[in-house]
């Protein structure tokens, strides 16, 4: 296994100010206040210079998912394997790498068309998190040093089997579990982990999604901080996609809310950390221990 974590997301937004207001005022992320020639805005949650790049566009959707590799050798062998398997791998320029605060990166699309930016050598600046809402810490590391990425994301993958092969055989994720969600006949979600203890870093949903991402997750340390985010979201008039609940697989106790433009954000705590050495993947037909009553806009 080579991929270390899901390091960052690039998000296209028709209203970057609204996204920043949501990111800072509801999620409690910090405005990184980075200069950018194209006018992008940046949100940070830890020592990384940013975790979310919000880029002005005429549509709201995920642009790319940044996947972290531990070193140049692991990164290079992965992009060589992708090219060898017939995938088009495009090297990022030094200027583009600088914008992403990485040493080097290359872009590739998975079989479903999701854009991935494979990078190594994130350039950390160690500016301390000062959350505008008082979030004490976002859970992005374990044992004080190992990066677990910003959280996790679920990507649409209608051709899920070829996508699972792509991620497990070429990117280097490991399959954690498969969920056949109740009420969604014939659909499934494959949860995959990177080389860190987070139960999943990337998951694949076997249907399409107009936003290019089914949801993204950020994790805080306490139930109180989830509750406080709930109150902020209610006060801001944010749509709740799911009430408070707890998942069976990663044990995440979380809410789901809708960001401006329609990307779903899971906000949780208590995510399961796993030692992968003797792990055996599981299959489930139930997504939640309790709660998570879903309310999708336009769906009765």
Which residue in 110, 147, 266, 288 binds Fe ion (CB under 5 A)?
266
Confirm or reject binding of residue 46 to Fe ion (CB under 5 A): no
Residues 97, 104: Cα–Cα separation, whole Å: 6
Interatomic CA distance for residues 169 and 150, integer angstroms = 23
Which one of 32-40, 54-62, 214-222, 278-286 is the stretch in contact with Fe ion (CB under 5 A)?
A: 214-222
Distance of closest approach, residue 217 Cβ to Fe ion, in angstroms: 4
Longest CA–CA separation in the chain, Å: 52
One character per residue 138-177, x = contact with Fe ion (rule: CB under 5 A): ----------------------------------------
Nearer to Fe ion, 23 or 92 (CB): 23
Q: How does strand 52-56 pair with strand 5-13?
A: parallel
Which range, of 140-148, 223-231, 262-270, 289-297, touches Fe ion by CB under 5 A? 262-270
Closest CA to 151 of 2, 27, 56: 27
Q: Which residues have C-beta within 8 Å of that of residue 254, sequence separation ≥ 6?
A: 217, 226, 242, 244, 245, 246, 247, 266, 267, 268, 269, 292
CB of 83 to Fe ion, least distance (A): 31
* Rounded Cα distance, 270 and 59, in Å: 34
Residue closer to Fe ion (CB basis): 83 or 290: 290
Shortest distance in whole angstroms from residue 151 CB to Fe ion: 8
Strand partners, 115: 109
From the list 217, 226, 233, 264, which residue makes contact with Fe ion (rule: CB under 5 A)?
Answer: 217
Classify residue 129 by burial, with Cβ atoms within 10 Å: 0-12, 13-18, 19+: middle
Q: Which stretch binds Fe ion (CB under 5 A): 30-38, 49-57, 63-71, 216-224?
A: 216-224
Using only C-alpha atoms, what is the Rg of the chain? 18
Nearest to 230 by CA among 248, 32, 222, 299: 222
Q: How far is the CB of 191 from Fe ion (least distance, A)?
A: 9
Compare residues 116 and 155 and give the one whose CB is closer to Fe ion: 155
- Smaller CB distance to Fe ion: residue 217 or 218? 217
Least distance to Fe ion, CB of residue 187, Å? 15
Using the minimum distance from each CB to Fe ion, give the nearer residue, 55 or 177: 177
Q: Which is nearer to Fe ion, 177 or 266 (CB)?
A: 266
Name the residues that contact Fe ion, by CB under 5 A: 217, 266
């Amino acid at each position: 296994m080579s991929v270390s974590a899901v390091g960052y997301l690039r998000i296209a937004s028709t209203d970057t100010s609204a996204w920043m207001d949501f990111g800072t005022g509801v999620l409690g992320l910090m405005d990184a206040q980075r200069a950018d020639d194209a006018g992008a805005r940046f949100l940070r949650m830890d020592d990384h210079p940013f975790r979310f790049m919000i880029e002005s566009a005429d549509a709201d959707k995920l642009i790319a998912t940044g996947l972290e590799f531990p070193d140049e050798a692991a990164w290079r062998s992965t992009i060589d394997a992708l090219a060898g398997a017939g995938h088009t791998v495009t090297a990022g320029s030094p200027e583009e790498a600088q914008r992403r605060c990485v040493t080097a990166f290359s872009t590739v699309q998975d079989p479903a068309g999701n854009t991935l930016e494979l990078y190594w050598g994130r350039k950390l600046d160690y500016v301390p998190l000062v959350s505008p809402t008082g979030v004490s810490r976002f859970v992005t590391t374990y044992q004080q040093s190992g990066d677990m990425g910003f959280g996790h994301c679920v990507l649409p993958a209608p051709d899920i089997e070829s996508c699972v092969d792509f991620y497990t055989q070429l990117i280097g994720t490991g399959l954690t579990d498969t969920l056949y969600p109740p009420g969604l006949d014939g659909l499934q979600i494959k949860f995959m982990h990177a080389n860190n203890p987070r139960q999943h870093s990337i998951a694949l949903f076997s249907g399409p999604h107009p936003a290019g991402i089914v949801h993204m997750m950020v994790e805080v340390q306490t139930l109180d901080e989830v509750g406080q985010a709930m109150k902020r979201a209610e006060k801001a008039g944010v749509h709740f996609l799911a009430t408070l609940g707890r998942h069976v697989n990663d044990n995440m106790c979380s809410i789901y809310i809708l960001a401006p433009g329609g990307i779903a954000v899971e906000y949780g705590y208590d995510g399961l950390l796993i030692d992968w050495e003797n792990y055996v993947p599981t299959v489930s037909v139930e997504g939640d221990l309790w709660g998570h009553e879903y309310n999708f806009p336009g769906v009765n």
